[in-house]
Structure 1
């Protein structure tokens, strides 16, 4: 009798735990599905049929280096969808979502250099797509080959627990109260204002671009199928970087990528060795506008 009560008690605990997980999962997901102005991913997912002359994709080296308002001054409707820490996995998924939402895009500028070394997701960034995975076949299919896909997709609330720092209670709360994320200002461009007195050294000697990066090829193929002018660009690093022949390796493997790594080199134009400050980014963006949009 006592054993039966114990088993019944355990069954009730399991049932209530599963029910609570399901309720929390649906509650968190509802919040993210009704958000638009918290971050770049939410902004795209919950939008429709935007029109852009220029969309910028990539990592922080896109986010910090392409001054979107300078494009706007030229009459080019532009948004910088670069995301700190992103790999090409996330850039490809962002573009897929834009196409799914009937975006009309004339030009894609893709920052692609050191991110060519990886064909995996960046957990910290890709986590922000997960609130929508049950509602989007595009996101589901993009994550399908990830090792933990089954846990994320089939276990209620697992994805929120695993990625608590990115899509947990704090982020869900700010999303629920519609607190606008700062990364949406300046058309998505994040300016770095200070020049660091230290850290102006970098070593990329051990990096090698993959000979066939799946997600780079996806982006290129999507642009071709949708008549989008594809501009792939390598962006600057400080002059004290070791292993700068990495950019030559990229150019050899991907001849279509434009090499701008030495357009800006002086330390005074950098916030860190791999990221220009606002002054450097403006010099760089001016060159991009001159070379590709000087009509």
Structure 2
């Protein structure tokens, strides 16, 4: 089944070239089913890349999904045109009177800052508090996962001695969770961050459970026991070259950056990166959308 997005969105042409079924708004309006409504709060500076990656994952399910894109009003993005934001993105004032089946909040390159020092922190908190009452299930990525754990449960973050950068093995601590149904016992997850949360701080809260853990970098997938919140510390939606582009950018800028772990064959940046996370990267989005959104959300969204 298709993903329903605006016809002119750049992701539309990219996904169609990949033979992903993208339904036009006109056709979707004439189907006698209710699509799932998913709101994406995109905090990444590379908005078009991130929105395309997420829509690629959400489109590969048997469900019709209607996407709204949300941006912060208190932070001006310098890496995307104002026309793109004006054409395809809403602000909180535009959506605050609506309800959604699901919501995805992306990461952001602000891990080194104290949460309260992030210039859009107050707006982020307002949106998250609103989402608790207006969204059936919320999926938090990377920085957003850490920020939500802090705001909702008081779980602190810790800066790491060096950047967590590469593709890391993770093992399932709760393989019975539908979120990781179909996962191998050991799977791989792309990571790119300067901070982490600790297992012992998370499990102090009975409302939280650690689903997957890496012996090298700690918790990687956490959820609330009521399945309202999902905290994914990595980036299962990443493309083959996402880490490469980040590495090349930092090398060109003269920044200290190590070769991404478990990414290039023989750790040779001249070779093509090997994708080891694609299957589980798709499964986690499909499972979240199916088991925790579609199968449990009320048909009447006003009942959320």
Task: Give the TM-score category using the shorter length.
Answer: 0.3 to 0.5
Q: Select the structure that is richer in helix.
A: 1
**Structure 1 length normalisation: TM-score?**
0.36
Greater RCO, 1 or 2 (C-alpha within 8 Å, sep 6+)? 1
Q: Select the structure that is richer in strand.
A: 2
Larger Rg over CA atoms: 1
